[in-house]
Structure 1
Amino acid sequence: MGPTRRRDLAAAALLTAAVAYVLLLVLYRWFPPLTVWTGVSLLAVAIAEAGWAFYLRNKINEGEIGVGSGRVHPLAVARSVVIAKASAWVGAPVLGWWVGVLVYLLPRRSTMRVAAEDTAGAAVAAACALALVVAALWLQHCCKSPGEPPENANGATD
């Protein structure tokens, strides 16, 4: 299993944004109101993952230097990688969805009152989804062993 490629995540986000925009052209009138709390649950997961990443990184680095226990069970690291990959692959389409919503709402803010009201909630949700993707990629990066070569050392492109 290799590292999650950012270009694949970007492609998933862009494809989802395009689908979201097309769906909103037809279905926006039936959407419930968007509040600033709409996407905050993603931020909670992102904060938890980032905290776990810093903890793991510190434990792995302690083991390299020989200070403290510095031992992390390999299965815990493997599970962390799986969580990081899953979070990145959930966060990217969710980010795409909210970007699609924003692309739909921003030009309509001056003509539709409800679009102006929904813009803040969609922007917060998009930012929280972006935070989830960034935290997931950071967690995945922190799960590498210290002696491991960089991701693109074998000439693979990102």
Structure 2
Amino acid sequence: MGPTRKRDLVAVVLGAGVISYLLVLLLYRFFPPLTVWTGLSLAAVAVAEAGWGFHIRAKIASGEIGVGVGRLHPIAVARSVVIATASAWVGAAVAGWWLGVLAYLLPRRETLRVAGEDTGGAVVAAVSALALAGAALWLQHCCKSPTDHLEGADSELD
């Protein structure tokens, strides 16, 4: 399993954005009100993943990986990579959804009162989803061993 490619995530954002715009175009009248609380759970997960990334990075840098008290087990690092990969894909798909919603709402803010009220919640949700994808990529990056950083330097360009 290699690192998640940013171009694949961008493709997911764009695809989900187009699909969500079309769905919102047809179904917006059935939406519940969008508040700033709508996407904050994604922001909380993003903060947790970024913090975990800093923790793992510090443990790897100090050589505290392995079995024993106070050490980070290698399986925990492998599981973190899986969580990071899944979170990156979910963050990209959800960001695409909310960007599609915003593409619908922004031009209609002046003419549709509800669109103006929902815009703030959609912005918070979109930013939170993008933060989740970014934090997931950070966590994935932090799970590399020091030799991975040297060997995979050219793969960072994807």
In structure 2, what is the equivalent of residue 51 of structure 1? Answer: 51
Q: Is this contact kept in 2: 1:40–1:125, CA < 8 A?
A: yes
Amino acid across the alignment from 1:5 = R
The answer to whether the aligner puts 1:131 opposite 2:131 as a matched pair is: yes
Specify the SS of the correspondent of 1:44.
Answer: helix
Aligned residues: 153
The answer to whether the aligner puts 1:15 opposite 2:2 as a matched pair is: no
Unaligned runs of 5+ in 1: none
Unaligned runs of 5+ in 2: none
Shift in Å, 1:147:
1.7
The answer to whether the aligner puts 1:100 opposite 2:100 as a matched pair is: yes
**Structure 1 vs Structure 2: percent identity of aligned residues?**
67
Work out the CA distance in 1 between the residues paired with 2:43 and 2:74: 27
Amino acid across the alignment from 1:114 = V
Work out the CA distance in 1 between the residues paired with 2:87 and 2:48: 12
User: What TM-score, normalized to structure 2?
Assistant: 0.92
Q: Is this contact kept in 2: 1:39–1:128, CA < 8 A?
A: yes
Q: Is this contact kept in 2: 1:49–1:139, CA < 8 A?
A: yes
Relative to its length, the structure with more helix (as a share) is: 2
User: What TM-score, normalized to structure 1?
Assistant: 0.92
In structure 1, what is the equivalent of residue 114 of structure 2? Answer: 114
Distance change (3 Å), C-alpha of 1:27 and 1:89: same
